[in-house]
Amino acid sequence: MPDGRKLVVQCQRYAKHRTVGSPDLQKSNGTARSEHGADIPLFVTSCKFTKQARAFAARHALVLVDVDLLGFWNSGTALSTLLDLDIGRTGTNRKLAPGD
């Protein structure tokens, strides 16, 4: 990242009807942080995340980009802008806090 933080990205292409759950994020988080030294682990998918996955991401400071945000990113929205958005679609565009 421009500010010196290390971004590690995992991308998964799944069918739109599938969801990404907490176990997928647990594996990604462990690899991104311990193996690659990520300051910002980013998980990108072509589908949606479960509520449990979003809660895990909030507790462990993971950044999630689902199919909707992926469309914005693909259309030219800067990744730095997406890092602060809530993929839970709460309507507030804020990151989920632990316990949300």
DSSP secondary structure of 21-63: -HHHHHHHHHIIIIIT--SEEEEEESSEE-HHHHHHHHHTT-E
Answering whether pTM is above 0.85, one says: no
pLDDT of 48 strictly over 60: yes
Sorted by sequence, the CB contacts under 8 Å of residue 53 that are 6+ apart come out as 19, 20, 21, 22, 24, 25, 64
Cβ atoms of residues 67 and 79 within 8 Å: no
pLDDT of residue 28: 86
pLDDT of residue 89: 43
Higher pLDDT, 90 or 56: 56
Which residues on neighbouring strands pair with residue 43, listed in sequence order? Answer: 10, 64
pLDDT of 91 strictly over 80: no
- Give the N- to C-terminal CA distance of the chain in Å, as an integer: 27
pLDDT of residue 23: 92
pLDDT of 62 strictly over 60: yes
